[in-house]
Amino acid sequence: SAVISQKPSRDICQRGTSLTIQCQVDSQVTMMFWYRQQPGQSLTLIATANQGSEATYESGFVIDKFPISRPNLTFSTLTVSNMSPEDSSIYLCSVLGGNTEAFFGQGTRLTVV
């Protein structure tokens, strides 16, 4: 198993600003995953972050809006840029275990006003 520390746990931000979410894992992992969960919805994968290379973004998500850093094998950040109320969601980081079971941080509940 993996223990993931994600912060902040919640934030209220003004539109047009940016928020950086941090994710720290207690072990080294090759890939880290960032998800968005809009109110009442399921999880949608934003991107996969590999150490030493650019993140791979899913359809509908772009680097300019969601820049990701992965400076080492235990840490990653996701920035939500130029926020609008539509970005209000829960953002989750995740890693996979040996059987591809996913371990999650506690999530960041973002409200954009």
Partner 1 sequence: SQQGEEDPQALSIQEGENATMNCSYKTSINNLQWYRQNSGRGLVHLILIRSNEREKHSGRLRVTLDTSKKSSSLLITASRAADTASYFCATDEGYQKVTFGTGTKLQVIP
Residue placing its CB nearer to partner 1 in the complex, 61 or 104: 104
- Interface with partner 1 (CB under 8 A): 4, 6, 31, 33, 35, 37, 41-43, 45, 48, 90, 92, 96-97, 99-107, 109
Considering just the CA atoms, what is the radius of gyration of the chain in Å?
13
* In the complex, minimum distance from the CB of residue 71 to partner 1, in angstroms, rounded to a whole number: 21
Residue placing its CB nearer to partner 1 in the complex, 37 or 51: 37
As measured in angstroms, the least distance from the Cβ of 4 to partner 1 is 8
Nearer to partner 1, 20 or 48 (CB): 48
In angstroms, give the least distance from the CB of 66 to partner 1. 18
The full 3-state SS of the chain, as one line of letters, equals: CCCEEEECCEEEECCCCCEEEEEEECCCCCEEEEEEECCCCCEEEEEEEECCCCCEECCCCCCCCCCEEEEECCEEEEEECCCCHHHCEEEEEEEECCCCCEEECCCEEEEEC
Least distance (Å) between residue 84 CB and partner 1: 20
